Amino acid sequence: MKNGGQKHTTVALADDHVLIRNGLAGLINSFEGYTVLFQAANGQELIDMLQASPRPDIVLLDINMPKKDGYETAQWLKQNHPDVKILALSMYDNETAIIRMLKYGAKGYILKDAEPSELRSALDDINNKGYHYSEMVTGHLISTISKLNEDEKAKNALLLTDREIEFLKFICSELTYKEIADQMFISPRTVDGYRETMFEKLNIKTRVGLALYAVKNGIVNL
């Protein structure tokens, strides 16, 4: 417990690189209000430790690990402990990896070479808002999404066609744009047109941003 009786936010780490894991644990423990409960070398070890340890509020989950990788572990957490928030960790800023982790329940994504202040910001976002979007979506999108439930005019302005909704569902898959074109029985050039139209209509700049929009607005159920 913190001074004043406030509860610490508890964190668990899963990463097969010992130095990175220990460094992250030390850094997080230095953040006021955060405590690392335990560390695991892979997803299976994390699952085993969850059976015998208090449940953390947040799990920092590496994607590439032996035994159980981040994808499998995120799926297990989503099914067995849906209240535990997942912050995905990776060495690479890979759109497919980000979308896949979001699909499996991650509430945010951060690169391992991020500044300590960004990690703190990500933890605070997930703890207070339930998600961390800063690396993946523009600030304008976040404000647009937040307004959709209360601003009917904004909602009407962003009404999507059936084909655009179909396209968004494919965006949340692991298919390439060419494979999406094949699935929709259209040319790759037409898919490019859909993408650019959606970028402009929703003021989004990346595929990850489109996927997050689809998730946030219930177009896909993850």
| pLDDT tens sequence for the chain (222 residues) | 444 445 789 999 999 999 989 999 999 999 999 999 999 999 999 999 998 888 999 999 999 888 889 999 999 999 999 999 999 988 766 777 777 888 788 888 888 888 899 999 999 999 888 888 654 444 444 444 445 444 443 443 457 788 888 898 898 888 899 999 999 999 999 999 989 988 888 888 888 888 888 877 777 765
Alpha helices (runs of H) in the chain, residue ranges in sequence order:
18-30, 43-52, 70-80, 95-103, 116-128, 139-148, 152-157, 162-171, 177-184, 188-202, 207-216
Domain boundaries, the chain: 9-128, 139-216
pLDDT at 221: 65
Q: Which CATH class is domain 139-216?
A: mainly alpha
Taking the chain, what is the end-to-end CA distance rounded to the nearest angstrom?
A: 34
9-128 carries CATH number 3.40.50.2300: yes
